[in-house]
Amino acid sequence: MKKLFLIAMLCLTFTIPAKADFWKKLKNAVTGTDSSSSSSNSSGKTGGTRGYIRTDNRGNKEIVNPFDKNDFRAEDSIYSDERTSIYRHKDLKGTATKVNYIECRLKPGGFLEWVGKESYYGYVKFPVYKIIGKVPISGCFSRDKSGKEKEINDDLYLDHNLAMYIWDNQLTVTTLAMKNGKAENGYIPWFDSTNPEAEIYINGKKFN
């Protein structure tokens, strides 16, 4: 019987094309493992900088910060946050007015943390992210063409590409500035890298 079994296995080896994935699938079928089940994010970013999904011991799904496994957000919050972002983006298109120059002074740790939270650590792709208040932002001012400056709202908006550039590179951002950009009602800066007229500067260096 052993000889017949060995002969059968040898025949199987020569009749099936020598493809690596065949043996991989055979192994997975036996061990119950499958590499295709590994976590991924909706943005398609690789390299370990984007959030990934996991399930806790109660069956709840969480989006995890890849830089801090103890930092996470509930997956079931994504839908409402996405809808808020979409409506906010539509409102911005109607209420944002052109500004000559805007600059925001930021608190590096708080700002990066807020970008991560709002974007679910890069797991989602929303049209706009709102960064709010004194925890991440020290203050913002605008300057008109005559050189006159005035303090404006402490909140700001980021588009997805800019937010992900900051998050993926874990940038220590102390200033965000913008020429010929837009602000909601002239008071809340909208750092939108998709605006062809706007020039955005991160720590004094041009981004777009």
pTM of the model: 0.76
Ranges of each domain in the chain: 77-206
pLDDT at 40: 38
> Is the backbone of residue 202 left (phi > 0), alpha (psi -120 to 50) or beta?
beta
pLDDT at 143: 97
Residue 40 carries which side chain, given as an amino acid letter?
Answer: S
pLDDT at 20: 43
pLDDT at 1: 46
Q: Strands of 205-206's sheet, edge to edge? A: 149-152, 137-143, 101-106, 175-179, 199-202, 205-206
- 3-state SS, 60-122, equals CEEEEECCEEEEEEEHHHHHHHHHHHHHHHHHHHHHEEECCEEEEEECHHHHHHHHHHHCHHH
With vertex at residue 44, the alpha carbon angle to CA 130 and CA 191, rounded to the nearest 5 degrees, is 25
Kindly report each contact of residues 43-46 with a partner whose C-beta sits within 8 Å and lies 24 or more positions away, as own/partner.
43/122, 43/123, 43/124, 43/125, 43/164, 45/122, 45/164, 45/168
Other residues' Cβ atoms within 10 Å of the Cβ of residue 107: 16
pLDDT at 133: 86
pLDDT at 135: 87
Strand, helix or coil for residue 30: helix
* Token pair belonging to 73: 């957000």
* 196 contacts: CB under 8 Å, gap ≥ 6: none
- What is the C-alpha separation between 85 and 97, in angstroms, rounded? 19
Residues of the chain with pLDDT under 50: 1-47
pLDDT at 108: 86
pLDDT at 208: 82
> Is the backbone of residue 122 left (phi > 0), alpha (psi -120 to 50) or beta?
left
